[in-house]
Amino acid sequence: QVQLVESGGASVQAGGSLKLSCSISGYTFPTFCLAWFRQPPGKEREGVATIDSEGNVVYADSVKGQFTVSRDNAKSILYLQMNELKPEDTGMYYCALDQWEWKCSRGLGVADFRYWGQGTQVTVSS
């Protein structure tokens, strides 16, 4: 049984930083696409970043230069380092996992990943 558990969400002031973690268990396939999505209050879920099993990364234009996605394969943990946080970064952040690498290279607009975490809340106040 594949499980994803996010942590690290908090309430911070604008300009602050947070590092989200997503602990992954039960996944045995050699290839994958891992992703971070977020859902701002009252809005639809949106893609933030992806990283595939080869280490290729894709970022949403809105977070380029601000967020960094990484993974620790040995510990099966996905990270999202978020710097210079803004109030518009507020939302529930989810990690997602799928077997198919092509879901990482097609863009961030589709949230059809097979496995999802429960989310961690990030609130940025001005």
β-pairing verdict for 3-7 and 18-25: antiparallel
- Separation CA 96–CA 35 (nearest Å): 5
Degrees to nearest 5, angle at CA 20 with 88 and 120 = 70
When mean pLDDT is compared across 15-19, 28-32, 104-108, the lowest value belongs to 104-108
**Mean pLDDT, residues 32-42:** 96
**92 alpha-carbon distance from chain centroid:** 10
**Mean pLDDT, residues 46-70:** 96
Residue 107: its pLDDT value, please?
Answer: 79
Residue 106: its pLDDT value, please?
Answer: 85
pLDDT in tens, 63-101: 999 999 999 988 899 999 999 999 999 999 999 999 999
- Separation CA 58–CA 105 (nearest Å): 8
